């Protein structure tokens, strides 16, 4: 497990190393906002005991959100949510077989009582999950709230500054 800080508030987990291509977009956003996080590969199917231990210890270790990316059957976010009260933000990773629709449906169709906040397929979903995690932390973490406000203001300013598509 790697971390950008000694006391991570967000966990970024993925079902396999190949999911990093997508999940790095969550890490980049968290870095830009100054959110401490950790990164780990946790497979729901290949390392279920590791998954259970990670989920069960997440809250006690100080995690306030888990961003979980998975492709294909995409059981990782739901299984994490079943084993922890820490909010799980699910990111469907685009797959070759069904272009990520299988992942999206696996994550979004959770039974009542085991919620997973589900985001868009792919890079945009990973980035938005990170922004959502930052927004969740902002009320108690003033620096993160200020960084998020600056990000949003810059995003708005960038659109206004280039509002003529011919230029």
Q: Is 44 a domain residue?
A: yes
Task: List the domain range (segments joined by +) for residue 81.
Answer: 2-161
Over the stretch 70-86, which tens digit does the pLDDT of each residue have? 999 999 999 999 999 99
Q: Does the residue 156 lie in any domain?
A: yes
Tell me: is residue 158 an annotated ligand-binding position. Answer: no
What's the pLDDT tens digit per position in 51-66?
A: 999 999 999 999 999 9
Q: Is 43 annotated as a binding residue?
A: no
Count of H-run helices and E-run strands, the chain: 6, 6
CB 83 within 8 A of CB 66: no
Measured distance CA(45)–CA(67) in Å, rounded: 18
DSSP annotation of 111: P
Give the pLDDT confidence of 25-39 residue by residue, as tens digits.
Answer: 999 999 999 999 999
Is the residue at 80 inside a domain?
A: yes
In a domain, 40, yes or no: yes
140 assigned to some structural domain: yes
In this structure, what CATH number is given to the domain that contains residue 100?
A: 3.40.50.1970
Q: What is the pLDDT of residues 121-150, one digit of tens each?
A: 999 999 999 999 999 999 999 999 999 999
Instruction: Specify burial of residue 160 (Cβ count, 10 A radius: 0-12, 13-18, 19+).
Output: exposed
pLDDT in tens, 108-124: 999 999 999 999 999 99
Least Cα distance to 126 among 38, 35, 40, 28 occurs for 28
In a domain, 166, yes or no: no
Confirm whether 167 is domain-assigned.
no
Task: State whether residue 165 is helix, strand or coil.
Answer: coil
42: in domain: yes
Q: Specify whether the backbone of 98 is left (phi greater than 0), alpha (psi in -120 to 50) or beta.
A: alpha
Q: Is 46 annotated as a binding residue?
A: yes
Domain count for the chain, please give it.
1
């Amino acid at each position: 497990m790697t971390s950008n800080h000694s006391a991570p508030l967000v966990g970024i987990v993925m079902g396999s190393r190949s999911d990093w291509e997508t999940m790095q977009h969550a890490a980049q956003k968290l870095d830009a906002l100054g959110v401490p996080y950790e990164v780990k590969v946790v497979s729901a199917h290949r390392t279920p005991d590791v998954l259970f231990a990670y989920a069960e210890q997440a809250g006690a270790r100080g995690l306030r959100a888990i961003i979980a990316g998975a492709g294909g059957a995409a059981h990782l976010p739901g299984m994490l949510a079943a084993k922890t009260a820490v909010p799980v933000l699910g990111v469907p990773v685009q797959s070759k077989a069904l272009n990520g629709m299988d992942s999206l449906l696996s994550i979004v169709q959770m039974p009542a009582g085991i919620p997973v906040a589900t985001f868009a397929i792919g890079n945009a979903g990973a980035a938005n999950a990170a922004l959502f995690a930052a927004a969740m932390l902002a009320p108690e973490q003033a620096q993160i709230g200020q960084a998020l406000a600056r990000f949003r203001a810059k995003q708005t300013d960038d659109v206004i500054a280039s509002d003529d598509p011919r230029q």
